[in-house]
Amino acid sequence: MKILLLEDNKRLNDTITKRLKAKGYEVFSFLDGQKAYEAIDEGYICYILDINVPNIDGIEILKKIREYNVNTPIIIISSTVELDIIKDSYKYGCNDYLKKPFFIDELEIKIEKLCNFDRDVIEIYEGCVFYFKDSALEIDGVREHLSKKERLFLNLLLSKRGKVVSIDTIQAIVWEGSFTSIDSIRSLMRRIRKKIPVDCIETVVDVGYLFKDCFDL
């Protein structure tokens, strides 16, 4: 579960990074806007962006992310009290806004709420569980080998369980922002379905996929 953090205050950056890593997230932290900008298409499940940072500010990065990725949660953290800047943050697509100073617990709650990661383990059906922290699938006590894309795809579907995950979202997160064909997505889906004996994944034609409740199947 990869998170991009952009915060130019090193002490606060280190504090947030340490806390989120302790929660099992993989944090890629940046002090410089340009470096964060160059890394925004690496398949993150959440972005945490400060506004006033060196070289490229957080609002510009927010706008760039939303050009190709409209669904991944973006949290703005800033000490600004300028109403116009706060309005711009929401105008360009941020999901939530935290004014500094804030408690790290507040940030954790927002991440869990926005990304729907309120549990570390989800039971797909009896005897089949998925561990979010290490993106591992276990069936009857045996761990199934998953490729990187299989892990990202299954993680994404289960984090949005009961909701349709669009093709655009799959491309942005599983293919880390790179273009891929529908055939490639379908091929990956077939591989995942082979590893889960029960038919839990519904195809929503021309839209995406939905992970449904499997206990009644």
pLDDT of residue 69: 77
Q: Which residue has the higher pLDDT, 166 or 214?
A: 166
Mean pLDDT of the region 150-175: 83
Q: Are 150 and 193 in contact (CB under 8 A)?
A: no
Q: Is the pLDDT of residue 213 over 80?
A: no
Q: What residues form DSSP beta bridges with 143? A: 138
Architecture of the structural domain at 2-115: 3-Layer(aba) Sandwich (3.40)
* Measured distance CA(8)–CA(188) in Å, rounded: 38
CA distance 125 to 122: 9
pLDDT at 217: 47
Q: Mention the CATH class of domain 121-211.
A: mainly alpha
- Secondary structure of residue 141 in the 3-state scheme: coil
Structure tokens at 60: 């510009």
Tokens (6 digits) for 85: 């800047």
Average pLDDT over residues 55-67: 91
pLDDT at 36: 94
Place of tokens 């991440």: 111
* Residue of 23 and 95 predicted with greater confidence: 95
Instruction: Tell me which DSSP letter residue 177 carries.
Output: T
Q: Is the dihedral of CA 4, 6, 11, 12 positive or negative?
A: negative
pLDDT-derived band at 171, boundaries 50, 70, 90: confident
Of the chain, the end-to-end C-alpha distance in Å amounts to 29
pLDDT, mean of residues 175-191: 87
Which among 43-47, 60-64, 174-178, 193-197 has the top mean pLDDT?
60-64
Residue 28's pLDDT is: 94
Share of residues in the chain with pLDDT > 70 (%)? 94
| pLDDT on residue 77 | 92
The two three-digit tokens of residue 72, written as one number: 């991944």
pLDDT at 104: 85
Q: What is the pLDDT of residue 119?
A: 56
Structural domain boundaries in the chain: 2-115, 121-211
